[in-house]
Amino acid sequence: MHPSAPTPQLVDQFGRVVDYIRLSITDRCDFRCQYCMAEDMTFLPRNQVLSLEECARLVNIFVSLGVSKVRITGGEPLVRKNALWLFETICQLPGLKECVVTTNGSQLEKMASDLKAAGVKRINISLDSLHPDRFHAITRTGSLDKVMAGLQAAIKAGFDNIKLNTVLMRGINDDEAIDLVNFAIQHQIDISFIEEMPLGEVNHAREQSCVSNEDTLALLRQHVDMVASEHRSGGPARYWQVQHQATRIGFISPHSHNFCESCNRVRITCQGELYLCLGQEDKVDLMPLLRQYPDNDQPIIEAILNSMQIKPKGHDFDLRRAQPAVIRFMSHTGG
């Protein structure tokens, strides 16, 4: 592309510009969180997963099409062997403004400083409880101490954009909303509350377990001095600023406040499936094209451009359904 040529844009049929991709680099995880995957998961064989080189190639193509933000997810992305190479490679791409990662925190104690050196801008850490036993029950295998050590390592490495992601579930951890916010304030980091999404079969009824962010916000406003903020992180979260503190509180509300009208993102699974919406099945398989045309990006570019015409207007999440909106688990699509 000529240096003076305008950056191309991915524009869907509703006029929304897609400038943000979430790329899963593995379906594997060292946790088994209840809302994300089954307790007894069967993971993909290696030849059905994108190589890290294919991941880097896809990111490069999307950046050439105007994408400026990439979030690396999983599964747990940091359990992927040689994952650091991918971060080092894509963080250097001209035009990419922000490479960020979502992690359960289990690997951060040993990887935080290297991720910072590679150019990762922000880290999101999933944290659903401050009680070790409850944390272990929610994650089925996780150690809260390990995650806390990872958080401290990220702070020590100099990340100044750390955010906790919390899914509140009624009767499980919904009594911790205030404690989690106070923990974020104490550590001068942000926190987002994410309404549980109806993806995959789980062992509890989501209509009963899902905690509305409207209820969480109402509760927090009784205990925390906070004001609505214009801050945007490039995703669907709407933020409140804690007065006289560094902490912002975000709310990602697919049920109580549908955010589809401003959707600017697509997701790529570790199998190279380009999902145009988290809550729909519309997808384009990019892996066959990557492998059929190892030295020619044009067929992949055309497939991506054409996919914009099948990006749906929005998801159809309905917690009252007996079956989940989408059968695939969150760990398949990418967190």
Output 201 or 282, whichever has higher pLDDT. Answer: 282
The pLDDT value recorded for residue 277 is 86
Task: Provide the pLDDT confidence category of residue 286 given band limits of 50, 70 and 90.
Answer: very high
Residue pLDDT, tens place only, 233-260? 777 789 999 999 999 999 988 755 555 7
Closest CA to 265 of 21, 4, 67: 21
Apex 190 CA angle, 184 and 195, nearest 5? 100
Q: Identify the burial level of 100 via C-beta atoms within 10 angstroms of its C-beta, where 0-12 means exposed, 13-18 middle and 19 or more buried.
A: buried
CATH number for the domain spanning 109: value is 3.20.20.70
* Residue 234 Cα distances to 16, 18, 75, 206, 240, angstroms: 13, 11, 22, 28, 15
Rounded-to-integer distance, Cα 174 and Cα 165, Å: 14
Residue 3 placed within a domain: no
2 found inside a domain: no
Q: Which of 20-29, 151-160, 173-182, 254-263 has the lowest mean pLDDT?
A: 254-263
The arithmetic mean of pLDDT across residues 218-230, rounded, is: 96
pLDDT at 202 over 50: no
Q: For residue 313, count CB atoms less than 10 angstroms from its CB and return exposed for 0-12, middle for 13-18, buried for 19 or more.
A: middle
pLDDT at 334: 62
* pLDDT higher at 235 or 230: 230
pLDDT at 206: 47
Question: Whole-prediction pTM value?
Answer: 0.88
Helices (H), strands (E): how many in the chain? 11, 14
Q: Which residue, 59, 65, 21, is CA-closest to 305?
A: 65
Q: Do residues 78 and 108 touch, judged by C-beta distance below 8 A?
A: yes
pLDDT at residue 332 in the model: 59
Rounded mean pLDDT of 78-106? 97
- 222 lies in some domain: yes
In a domain, 5, yes or no: no
Evaluate if residue 204 carries a pLDDT over 70. no
CA distance 12 to 17: 7
pLDDT of residue 323 exceeding 50, the answer is no
Mean pLDDT of the chain: 87
Q: Looking at residue 257, what is its pLDDT?
A: 54
User: Is a pLDDT exceeding 70 seen at residue 1?
Assistant: no
pLDDT at residue 196, as a whole number: 80
Q: Is the pLDDT at 33 greater than 50, yes or no? A: yes
Task: Supply the pLDDT for residue 241.
Answer: 98
Q: Which residue has the higher pLDDT, 322 or 13?
A: 13
Per-residue pLDDT at 105: 96
Mean pLDDT of 15-38: 86
CA pair distance 147, 50, nearest whole angstrom = 27
**Number of neighbouring beta carbons within 10 Å of residue 44:** 15
Which domain, by its residues, includes 300?
A: 10-333
The pLDDT score that the predictor gives to residue 280 is 75
**185, two tokens:** 């304030």
Nearest to 330 by CA among 24, 32, 28, 37: 37
In a domain, 1, yes or no: no
Q: Enumerate the β-bridge partners of residue 191.
A: 164, 249
In this structure, the dihedral spanned by the alpha carbons of residues 296, 294, 79 and 325, taken in order and rounded to 10 degrees, is: 70
CA distance 86 to 52: 6
| Residue 216 to residue 214: CA distance in whole angstroms | 5
* Number of structural domains the chain divides into: 1
Task: Report whether 189 contacts 242 (CB < 8 A).
Answer: no
Instruction: Give the strand pairing for 238-242 and 226-228.
Output: antiparallel
Give domain status of residue 4, yes or no: no
